[in-house]
Amino acid sequence: MEEIKIGEFTLTTLLDGVFPCGPDLIPAAKSKDGEKLFVDAGLPQIGPSPEPINAFALRRGDRLWLIDAGCGHQLGPDFGKVPAALKSLGYEPEQVEAVILTHLHEDHIGGLVTEDGAAAFPKARLFVPTEELDFWLDPTSPAKNPGEAQQKFDLAKAVLAPYEGAIEAVPADSEIEEGVRLVGLFGHSPGHCGVSIEQDGKKLLMWTDIAHSTLLQLAYPHWSIGFDFDQPQAVATREALLAELAGTDVLVAGSHVRGMGTISRSGDGYRLEPSEEVSSATVKATKAA
Ligand SMILES: [Zn+2]
């Protein structure tokens, strides 16, 4: 587990699982350019590249928050490892004070509930982008958006239900508390947000699903993934954000990014320069089962 300090905050990656990201998900990677990227990375010519699904622990003093909750039981036994990762940091689910949700896709919200549908983090409040809540909970949305499976609307409702009364809608580009803001990065989903953490002149942006494969989509930011709600908007958001971040000292982490670092230009695209400030999280001794 990697972690980094931003002022009084400590952000730690909680790896939920790893998924294969190839041309079936990013069709433009089925090309000479794609083959070169895969081969140069030591992968088969047609990929896939193994990519993480991350949630994050955000700690300040003795307070513990999560950013997203992982897949839970949605994607099978290879996923849903956030509770174990949290435990290895020395925490029980009851100690989670709040969960910031970046958007309401299964790999970010499935872990909010246990297998029997109860709250996995029983004492937590949820902070959810207003734009995202409005989209998924509006009863007229499924009919207006036939491209989105009914199952996705049902899941959003089901995982939020046990938190009723503890859900706070937060508009994009507003502060959740001092130093922690939602950043509107719409396109991948209607209210898709990143989370910025800023203190003492230091800033990190957890950009959520701006890239599902840094290998493919930093080299070619116009390459889309099939999961995008609005592909042109998702591409425009990714291109604008990468251009804005390039050459700055803003640190970046992502739901599907290995490591943390800064963004620099590389040819016509970009690359992530790993930060030397990232360290390994202290894992509390746990007895092997
Ligand atoms: Zn995702």
Alpha carbons within 13 A on the beta-carbon side of 99: 31
Cα torsion angle, 136, 15, 279, 38, sign = negative
**What residues pair up with 202 in beta bridges, in sequence order?**
199
40 contacts 31 by C-beta, under 8 angstroms: no
Cα 208 to ligand 1 centroid, rounded to whole Å: 7
State the Cα–Cα distance between residues 67 and 57, nearest whole angstrom: 6
Question: Would you state the structure tokens that stand for residue 154, as one six-digit string?
Answer: 């049902």
Q: Are 74 and 81 in contact (CB under 8 A)?
A: no
Measured in angstroms, how far is the CA atom of residue 194 from the centroid of ligand 1? 12
CA distances to 36, 92, 130, 228, 234 from 29, in Å: 10, 41, 34, 16, 17
Return d(Cα 13, Cα 259) in angstroms, integer.
9
Rounded-to-integer distance, Cα 277 and Cα 3, Å: 9
Q: Quote the pLDDT of residue 289.
A: 40
Beta bridge partners of 196: 181, 205
Q: How far is the CA of 268 from the centre of ligand 1 (A)?
A: 25
Question: Residue 105 Cα, ligand 1 centroid: separation in angstroms?
Answer: 7
Q: What is the pLDDT of residue 34?
A: 98
| C-alpha–C-alpha distance, residues 48 and 26, integer Å | 10
For the record, the structure tokens of 153 come out as 């609307």
pLDDT given for residue 2 in this prediction: 94
User: From the CA of 286, how far away is ligand 1's center (Å)?
Assistant: 29
CA of 214 relative to ligand 1 center, distance in Å = 13
What is the CA(83)–ligand 1 centre distance, in A?
Answer: 18
How far is the centre of ligand 1, averaged over its atoms, from the C-alpha of 52 (Å)?
Answer: 9
Rounded distance from Cα 104 to ligand 1 centre (Å): 9
Distance 225 CA to ligand 1 centre (A): 11
Quickly tell me which residue has 């070619």 as its tokens. Answer: 220
Whether 170 and 127 have beta carbons less than 8 Å apart is answered as yes
Distance from the alpha carbon of residue 289 to the mean position of ligand 1, in angstroms = 30
Ligand 1 centre to CA of 288 (Å) is: 30
Can you tell me the distance from the alpha carbon of 213 to that of 122, in angstroms, rounded to the nearest whole number? 33
Strands 125-129, 167-170: pairing is parallel
The one-digit pLDDT tens for each residue of the chain (289 residues) are 899 999 999 999 999 999 999 999 999 999 999 999 999 999 999 999 999 999 999 999 999 999 999 999 999 999 999 999 999 999 999 999 999 999 999 999 999 999 999 999 999 999 999 999 999 999 999 999 999 999 999 999 999 999 999 999 999 999 999 999 999 999 999 999 999 999 999 999 999 999 999 999 999 999 999 999 999 999 999 999 999 999 999 999 999 999 999 999 999 999 999 999 999 988 875 544 4
CA distances from 55 to 82, 129, 185 (A): 7, 17, 18
Give the pLDDT score at 1. Answer: 87
Nearest to 117 by CA among 92, 142, 154: 154
**Terminus-to-terminus CA distance in the chain, angstroms?**
20
Instruction: Give the HSE-up count for residue 138: Cα atoms under 13 Å, Cβ half-sphere.
Output: 13
- Cα 86 to Cα 92, 239, 279, 282, distances in angstroms: 7, 33, 17, 11
> Are 236 and 185 within 8 A, CB to CB?
no
CA of 135 to the centre of ligand 1 (A): 17
State the amino acid at position 53 in one-letter form. I
- pTM score, whole prediction: 0.96
Instruction: Show me where the domains of the chain are located.
Output: 2-279
Say how many Å lie between the CA of residue 182 and the centre of ligand 1: 16
- Superfamily covering domain 2-279: Ribonuclease Z/Hydroxyacylglutathione hydrolase-like (3.60.15.10)
Beta bridge partners of 170: 129
